[in-house]
Structure 1
Amino acid sequence: MNILPQPPIDLSRHSGFDKFIWFLGVGLGSGLLSKAPGTMGSLAILVLYPLWIVLGLFSSIVIIILMSIVGIYICGRSAEIMQVHDDGRIVWDEFAGQSITLLPLIYFAQSSWWLWLGFALFRLFDIWKPFPIGWADRHISGGLGIMLDDLLAGIMAACVFGAILFFVS
């Protein structure tokens, strides 16, 4: 991820569909809000937690899988539009990874204050990038590469989060 100030994106030559895809890619604008766009994207998706609870575990998993599959295109096309691979402002991948991390919270039906531990665990794995997250980040390109490291970070964070919730419940 590039931490230097990012140049503005000229969307004037792109179609309405491309602008829509880019808007999804930057997390409905959350990736444009701060010097820490990944953190902002991870925070923004937390508003869906009540929806995940209402939908239940199985439906949430299905939606997150669909979000992840579609995210390969969204992130890849957003990177093409921005002309930078894995631009820090692309946070759809954080949306999916953070959502994966919250699955144990839905399963164990714990109080929502645990949400903050799930958020912190996802950010830890997303930034630290232990194997295989770092390997995927460095060796897989395109939309799949942008998505995969965050999906792996979400899975690893969910495993740790689930273990913690198992032992406290």
Structure 2
Amino acid sequence: MAEVVYGRWYLNKYFKSAKRFRYFQSMSFAIAQGIVLIYFFFQYMYGGGEWSLVVISLYLFMTAIVISVIVYHFVIKRRMPPKAIMFSEECIFLLNYRNQLMRIPHGKIKCYDFEYINQKIHLKLYFKENIIGSKEFIPVADREFIERLFEYLKSKEIPRRGMPMIENL
């Protein structure tokens, strides 16, 4: 295996909260439809409402569950931040949400960018080829990790987005 530059895994302590928040985002429509279903059912039982409203709201509730599961599986889950990250001489290792170890060689990294959003630093890596698209790590809160990451990316001469390469200066 490659020699490790930054010897410990950076475990993303915000991974579980991000996962719960994104799951709630996808299920919010189904929850709203469930409340409407319960309302129409009780209105039918005690207030003499129409049975067709209960059937329609049941159909919408089931449809909302199917749509939210599809959205969660195909859209939201793929944008999850990695659980952990480690640097080596030849590549960057990522541990993704499925516990798969992804190896990203330096030659495939085009540039990187940092953003400061809601008191958290976000790192985006952009790739020359479309391997996994733009990968976002959220949040990078460890000061030591941030300093080592800057040193690491500069030592590999990976440019920051919008900045020229070192050779071109």
Same fold (TM over 0.5): no
Question: What is the TM-score normalised by the length of structure 1?
Answer: 0.23
Greater RCO structure (CA 8 Å; 6+ sep): 1
Question: What is the TM-score normalised by the length of structure 2?
Answer: 0.23
Q: Which structure shows the higher helix fraction?
A: 1
Larger radius of gyration: 2
Q: Which structure shows the higher strand fraction?
A: 2
